[in-house]
Structure 1
Amino acid sequence: MTSQIDHFLLYIATERGLSTAYQLSVRQSLDALAAWTETKKVTSWDDIGTADLSTFLAQQKDGGMSASSLRITMVHLKIFFRFLVARKVTVADPAEPLLPPRGDLHLPETLNEQHVATLLESVDVGKPLGKRDRAILELFYASGLRLSELCGARLENLDLDEHFIRVTGKGNKTRLVPVGGRACEAVADYLKNERPGLVKKKTSSWIFLSVRGGALSPERVREIVKQRAKAAGLNQTVYPHLLRHSFATHLLQNGADLRVIQDMLGHADIATTQIYTHVDQKGLKSVHQKFHPRG
């Protein structure tokens, strides 16, 4: 049974191109299931039924696993057993009927539009690294990039004339993301007037460079965002993913289609993007309570 797990992990690594972190997460889930089957004296994956998987998940929950982690584990079980059926290791798919557990809905934090404007406009581009840091903040908010996507952004994938950038996201999937006008201006200003001074002999084509001429690390970018927010006088803790949440929320509030937002964020599943509809509904409720005579 363990060999089938190894075969599956090899499959998602080589044929699906999924990240090492995702592979480790899947292994953790399947190793836990394999350990559980040993206690039940199960010797074949074909001997496991839907009731068995439900019992396993229930024991995981009783052991303290959160609803979100249970949902992730269930996804791992579903894709694993789908793989076993496709390879004719099992006849039926016991994971297919499983329903995801309900859990509390945790809405993402966001900045309002005024706070975003305050943050962006507070950066003094006349000071050292000001143009770079302004461009970083503008690009985060204009395109909703993940931290890893911004750190990995390269010059050859940026088209300021067409207002697009090509980025590589989760699962090594690439996508084209629009870049707003102001972000294009900020990035162009940085590329022309500040980046050349950061270039060293061994500098590659990373868009955003450190003072040593190398690519900025995720830790350094987080620090830049945090420091710039503090300097802008924002009391809220600001981090790169907060700007991504704000990007999506403001698009939705201003009438953008959810499917378009899904594409720009690089979400494989529309359900992931739908969290922003709850954020918007929360805002509508507060407006109703404030302005309706009987709110």
Structure 2
Amino acid sequence: MNDQLTDAKNYFVQYLQTEKNYSSLTISHYVHDIEHFFAFLHREGVAKLSTIEDLHSRLYLVTLHNEQFSRASVSRKISSLRSFFKFLEREEQISANPMSYVLHPKREGRLPHFFYEEEMEQLFLACDGTDPLSLRNKAILELLYATGIRVSECTSIELKDLDLSLSTLLVKGKGRKERYVPFGGFAQDAIAQYLKLGRPELIKEQPHSSLFVNHRGKPLTARGVRHILSTLVEKTALTASIHPHMLRHTFATHLLNNGADLRTVQELLGHAHLSSTQLYTHVTKEHLRKTYNSFHPRA
């Protein structure tokens, strides 16, 4: 990779770390997108920032289409590169942003999948048990459903982040933004049981403060949570495959279905923009439409 392009990328990474305070995972996504564009520029014989033009941006979009990237992936790459060149323009390393006039592809009209309340009951029954792993699994499931937190936020919970007396959780979200989220009695009871009878058996005197641990007593990973949830689904009569974000979708959808206002759900989810939360209003409308068509005699 050309030294000038590498230096520009490293300068941008430093900005993301110090000024934006982004997580290492978010930064790695930016770096991946920028390096993919740089590889395209190399094939096009472009080696200097000053020679990157709007034409290259349009040709890059054609390349992404030919390589069959999804609309979501293309949109993310556009956002990453637009931010990158906007930063370079601010720092006067380039005179114009070559991604300024590139349009995001229309989003695919897929609604987020969620569990119905009856399906959630099946999942809770699947993790009933008094052994340490069952207690842990139930605490994880109850907490994910009760708070709508992301799996990355769940696995980063430390003991000091929990306040069982107030039934609240300090969540460290995207961009290292923190928020307090309440949880209900079912989650409270499950966590208390896990802390009393499950975690001490699993941790085996290993000195760390992570709330959730694996069978060896080490901090649980996001991959571990996915495996736990998939195992729970296999124990039920559910045919749907599960991904951890489905519980986040379920949390938001059930709140809105039961009358919660959109701003409250936005705050609980930790969404920076209301438009991200508004997606769930389409889910609830679809749910209402299906219910109407199923039960109204003249639907």
Alignment correspondent of 1:84: 88
* 1:132-171 superposed matches below 5 A: 132-171=136-175
Task: Report deviation, 1:258.
Answer: 2.7
Report which stretch shifted further, 135-144 or 210-219.
Answer: 210-219
Distance 1:293 1:51 in 2: 57
Instruction: Report if aligned partners of 1:71, 1:100 keep a CA contact under 8 Å in 2.
Output: yes
Distance 2:186 2:43 in 1: 60
Alignment correspondent of 2:66: 62
Correspondent of 2:184 among 175, 180, 183: 180
Instruction: Report if aligned partners of 2:57, 2:99 keep a CA contact under 8 Å in 1.
Output: yes
Alignment correspondent of 1:246: 250
Q: Is 1:32 aligned to residue 36 of structure 2?
A: yes
Report which stretch shifted further, 216-225 or 246-255.
Answer: 216-225
Instruction: Report if aligned partners of 2:82, 2:100 keep a CA contact under 8 Å in 1.
Output: yes
Secondary structure of the residue that 2:180 maps to in structure 1?
A: strand
1:133 to 1:31, Cα distance in 2 relative to 1, 3 A? closer
How many residue pairs were aligned? 295
Distance 1:260 1:51 in 2: 44
Alignment correspondent of 1:275: 279
Task: Report deviation, 1:16.
Answer: 2.2
Distance 1:93 1:219 in 2: 38
Distance 2:263 2:57 in 1: 33
Task: Report deviation, 1:188.
Answer: 1.4
Secondary structure of the residue that 2:92 maps to in structure 1?
A: coil
Alpha-carbon displacement from aligned partner over 1:107-137 (angstroms, at most 9, x marks no partner): 2221101111222144334344332221111
Amino acid at match of 2:195: L
Task: Report deviation, 1:267.
Answer: 2.9
Correspondent of 1:200 among 204, 228, 236: 204
Alignment correspondent of 1:289: 293
Task: Report deviation, 1:49.
Answer: 4.5
Alignment correspondent of 2:262: 258
Instruction: Report if aligned partners of 1:203, 1:214 keep a CA contact under 8 Å in 2.
Output: no
Amino acid at match of 2:275: A
Distance 1:32 1:115 in 2: 41
Distance 2:33 2:215 in 1: 42
Instruction: Report if aligned partners of 1:203, 1:213 keep a CA contact under 8 Å in 2.
Output: no
Instruction: Report if aligned partners of 1:78, 1:95 keep a CA contact under 8 Å in 2.
Output: yes
TM-score, normalised via structure 2 length: 0.86
Alignment correspondent of 2:105: 101
1:131 to 1:32, Cα distance in 2 relative to 1, 3 A? closer
Amino acid at match of 2:294: K
Distance 1:37 1:126 in 2: 58
Report which stretch shifted further, 33-42 or 163-172.
Answer: 33-42
Amino acid at match of 1:108: P
Report which stretch shifted further, 55-64 or 134-143.
Answer: 55-64
Alignment correspondent of 2:119: 115
Task: Report deviation, 1:11.
Answer: 1.7
TM-score, normalised via structure 1 length: 0.87
Distance 2:131 2:205 in 1: 24
Report which stretch shifted further, 16-25 or 248-257.
Answer: 16-25
Amino acid at match of 1:228: L
Identity in percent: 36
Task: Report deviation, 1:217.
Answer: 3.0
Task: Report deviation, 1:268.
Answer: 3.3
1:219 to 1:37, Cα distance in 2 relative to 1, 3 A? closer
Instruction: Report if aligned partners of 1:8, 1:83 keep a CA contact under 8 Å in 2.
Output: yes
Q: Is 1:7 aligned to residue 24 of structure 2?
A: no
1:4 to 1:285, Cα distance in 2 relative to 1, 3 A? same
Task: Report deviation, 1:44.
Answer: 4.7
Task: Report deviation, 1:101.
Answer: 0.7
Alpha-carbon displacement from aligned partner over 1:212-257 (angstroms, at most 9, x marks no partner): 3322233333222222232233332234222122112111222223
